Structure 1
Amino acid sequence: MTSVQQWNQPLGSADLVVVGAGIVGLAHAVDAVRRGMSVAVVERDERATGASVRNFGHGCFTAQDGDALRYALEARSRWLRLADEAGLRMRESGTVVVARAEDEYAVLEEFRAARGGDQVVLLDAAGVARRMPVGHGVLGGAWLPMDIRVDPRQAAHAIADWLALQGVRFHWATTAHTIEPDLVGTSRGRIRAGRTVVAVGHDVDRHFPELAEQAGVRRCALHMLRVADPHGRAIDPAVLSGFSLLRYDGFGVCPTRAKVQDRLGADHPELIDIGLNLMFTQRPDGDLTIGDTHTYATTLDPFNAEALDQHVLKETARLLGVERLTVRERWRGVYAAADRPFLIASPMPGVRVVSVTAGIGMTTALGLAPEVLDDLLR
């Protein structure tokens, strides 16, 4: 069969065709299945290999704001249900935010006042130490009990396996070439589509370049590493730091955050310049996923600067109170970034382009998808 004949080969039809099998695409497939729709998923790789498997596995619900908070809170209950159904490794472990300066602790006090004791529990230094190993200078912190952790290297694959059992047809190693109101043309043939969701993350410009330009979509590259746990103990929660206070919109309601920004900018300008979000989670095997840095461009430089990894390693070691860390793996995560956290667009009838443009796809996608489908099916 020639390539032209293969491209014209019919691949059936579906009420919903999803382009992209990352967490955003899978979230739309999950919600469609729950509505009783037939679903086909087109994914260019043999399995999900992008941002959905390269992240911390952190459901960082509490630190969101606005629409992201609304989607996140809805996503939380959906993660709990899906974990049971799909056999996900999930922990309702919460998040510890470590304060190593008075202004950082003041931000956490303000955050608790804004959100209440159900969402934010203040900790003294001993309370932090009970939950994680700490270095010198920890004044206290906060525990965010609503947050969860999943294994990102297992979650997307387990969800896809569960969806397949529900009758979803996956077209792996298949590239979507053309998208029309009722048809998706792929490298293996044509699929008739009642509705279509294009969820290709930062690659939205590959399909709809003008839309991506208008939305200001860029790529954000993250330096992340897997290291051996230097203390050999279980660390149940995700762990954030003072640098994290500058990265999550939920903390924007706290007046003292500006002081944290000014102090860290004066004391550690090189870390602010690289967009450090000093945090980590523990993997099922005990190793730690640490990171991360943020570099933005429409087309990313293909070369990784070792200095960025060294900053992450040094600051994580200091947070944990050790001299050095043993690196097991290094990688670059890439996600879509824009001025707003979500891109939801209708380039043609019956088609929605959906991208989480703030690095919070794992946190929000399961709550975002039902609203997108409500609108698409209306």
Structure 2
Amino acid sequence: MHSHSSPAPLRADVVVVGAGIVGLAHAWHAVRAGLSVVVVDRDDRAVGASVRNFGHICTTAQSGRAREYAVVARETWLRAGAEAGLAVSAHGTVVAARSVAEMAVLDEFASGRDRDEVCVLGADETADRLGWAVPGLVGGALMPRDLRVDSPAAVPALTAHLARLGVVFRFGENVVDVVDGVRTTHGSYVADTVIVCVGHDVDRLFPVLASDGEVRRCRLRMMEIDPPRGVRIDPGVFTGSSLLRYGGFAETAAADTVRAELASLDPDMLTHTVNLMCTQRPDGRVVIGDTHHYERTLDPFDDEALDALLLDRFCGLFGVDDLVVRRRWRGVYAASAQGPYLHASPRADVVVASVTSGIGMTTAFGFARDVLAQRGLIP
């Protein structure tokens, strides 16, 4: 007669649930503080918001706590790039302004920042920085401290580097519950601290917490196109609609005029909460987007009209008649009307940490450091 027993739980100082950028950021700071770390993820690799974005580290346009986190994250990305062999572009962001109202936002924003953070440009200077002449360009601004990574390559590279530092990764294990540690479809883990970094899926494990935090899913439409006329775009690119998306711009008095202008001239941009921006991948293809729609449970059907809207507006931005689309995808991230971060402790040994806005790549390293420091796990 043979007895069967479950294997002993794997023990660590910290177990992180979720191997997206927020989970990896917690693992980064924890392992560097000398803590033993296990990261558990249901998928075989990161396939969520952390690899479906622009790879844009938008430090300068943040405000408040997000700005503080972004400053920390910027330095961490530079360090991670140097240590892990990640390509981190430091060409900044250029904002292309196509109206007097948009320039007024940039002037007001720049007046409250140091020159090494933002520099207002004339139309010719803006076109030179962009690499092409935008139809109707009035002027713009350069934010030289912003960074850019190629997310589909950077996140796996960061994961591999953390594994070399001693972080144990358990991919392909779905978490069943977080009670007395973490139980997955493959085993159990015991830790002094469990940090749940599952973004919008927090409602699967902690539904009451998600409801109280008004966590919803934000659905995006994004595409990858061939570079129009073979253009080389070194910086990240923002447009007038971006001035309504980021706190540093949106908090200016002049932003109200931009919103009114869009409502009058191009209301579809507001209806679909479009942030018309782009970045270029190392292979030359250009990532364009994006629309934003908010629901707790997402509609499974994608409307082709949204892609048509984006392509039309980008044809106007690039001054071309058509664009060659190579890939399309839906992005999904956590959103909340209560603010850009969900940080809660449903039990003494459990922390829930989600970036509830589209600034995970920009701020996760700073957010994670704060979460760990508040628990006394790092200095």
Into which bin does the TM-score normalised by the smaller protein fall? over 0.9
Call closer, same or farther: CA 1:86–1:21 in 2, change over 3 Å: same
Aligned partner (choices 46, 49, 68) of residue 48 of structure 1: 46
Q: Give the deviation of 1:8 after TM superposition.
A: 4.3
In structure 1, how many angstroms separate the alpha carbons of the residues matched to 2:56 and 2:192?
Answer: 34
Instruction: Tell me the distance in 2 between the aligned counterparts of 1:273 and 1:356.
Output: 24
Correspondence list, 1:1-378, <5 A: 8-132=6-130, 133-180=132-179, 182-339=180-337, 340-377=339-376
* Contact 2:213/2:336, CA 8 A, preserved across alignment: yes
**Contact 2:223/2:327, CA 8 A, preserved across alignment:** yes
Return structure 1 stretches of 4+ with deviation > 6 angstroms: none
How much has 1:240 moved relative to structure 2? 0.3
8 A Cα contact 2:44 2:172, kept in partner: yes
Q: Distance in 2 between matches of 1:210 and 1:176?
A: 18
> Deviations for 1:206-228, whole angstroms, at most 9, x for unmatched residues?
00000000000000000000000
1:58 and 1:234 map into 2 onto residues whose CA distance is 16
Unaligned runs of 5+ in 2: none
RMSD of Structure 2 on Structure 1 (CA)? 1.3
The CA distance in 2 between the partners of 1:92 and 1:7, in whole Å, is 54
Does the 8 A contact of 1:7 with 1:187 survive in 2?
no
Aligned residue type for 2:82: D
* Alpha-carbon distance in 2 for matches of 1:6, 1:301: 45
2: CA distance between counterparts of 1:322 and 1:303? 29
Give the conservation status (yes or no) of the 8 Å contact 1:6–1:188. no
Report SS of the residue matched to 1:91: coil
Measure the CA separation in 2 of the matches of 1:266 and 1:10.
64
Shift, 1:255, TM fit: 1.2
Change (3 A) 1:7 1:241: farther
Q: Which range moves more in the overlay, 251-260 or 282-291?
A: 251-260
Q: TM-score, normalised by structure 2?
A: 0.96
The alpha-carbon deviation at position 263 of structure 1 amounts to 0.7
SS state of the match for residue 128, structure 2?
helix
Extract unaligned runs of 5+ from structure 1.
Answer: none
Q: Which amino acid aligns with 1:147?
A: D
Distance 2:185 2:7 in 1: 9
Residue 286 of structure 1 aligns with an amino acid whose one-letter code is G
Q: Distance in 2 between matches of 1:37 and 1:241?
A: 43
Q: Which moved more, 1:265-274 or 1:221-230?
A: 265-274
What secondary structure sits across from 1:344 in the alignment?
A: strand
Q: Deviations over 1:42-74 (max 9, x none)?
A: 000000000000000000010101110000011
- Deviations, residues 296-343 of structure 1 (Å, cap 9, x unaligned): 000000111000011111111111111110000000000000011000
Rounded Cα–Cα distance in structure 2 between residues aligned with 1:267 and 1:201: 35
CA distance in 2, matches of 1:263, 1:234: 30
Cα deviation, residue 294, structure 1: 0.2
AA partner of residue 232 (structure 1): G
Write the distance in 1 (CA, Å) between the matches of 2:213 and 2:7: 34
Q: Is the 8 A contact 1:280 1:289 kept in 2?
A: yes
d(CA) in 2 for partners of 1:7 and 1:352? Answer: 30
CA distance in 2, matches of 1:253, 1:66: 11
Distance apart, 1:376 and its partner CA: 2.2
Percent identity (aligned): 50
8 A Cα contact 1:350 1:376, kept in partner: no
Q: Does structure 2 conserve the Cα–Cα contact (< 8 Å) formed by 1:175 and 1:187?
A: yes
SS of corresponding position for 1:286: coil
1:87 is displaced (CA, Å) by 1.0
Asked if the contact 2:20/2:46 (under 8 Å) is kept, the reply is yes
